[in-house]
Amino acid sequence: MPKKTTPISCDWKTVASRKSGIKSATNKSRFYRHKGSFTWQGIKIEKYKSNGKDWSGIVRYTLIGNHGETTRFHLRYFEVAPGGHSSFEMHKHEHVVICVRGKGKVKVEKKSYAINFMDTFYIAPNTPHQLRNPFKKPLGFFCIVNAKRDKPIILNR
């Protein structure tokens, strides 16, 4: 009978912790109080992307995924200023967008959809997409993605 081995992981402490039932020192339950104006206590504002000219007027807050959690997903909040937009891109991973502030437009392949408060959009893998805010108030949305994901391919509009 073959010898049982521990699965190989780049996060070996987490695998060992799960097997032993011991919680990781960094993976603990946390509460992020909403401070109003779509900001959360303990969550820092981030650049949408490190560089690029294919997007404008958009910022990101990573609520779940950058604080030692071992989830298989990340939860981010994006805010798009009036006139702003994300890059037109595609990637192998899927994601879910839930509009929670204002309204905007979601371009998927060649079709455009209006998105309003609590509208939810599933974007399938390898599907070109972009979020735009042609309106006078901010567009805010939660985005749920795989924790392990590929880098997007930027497309021409």
Supply the residues annotated as catalytic.
143
Calpha distance 132→124 (Å, rounded): 18
109-113 long-range contacts (CB < 8 A, ≥24 apart) are: none
Distance, CA of 110 to CA of 101 (rounded, Å): 24
Write the DSSP assignment of 127-139 as a string of letters: --EEEE--SSS-E
Count of beta carbons in the 10 Å neighbourhood of residue 74? 19
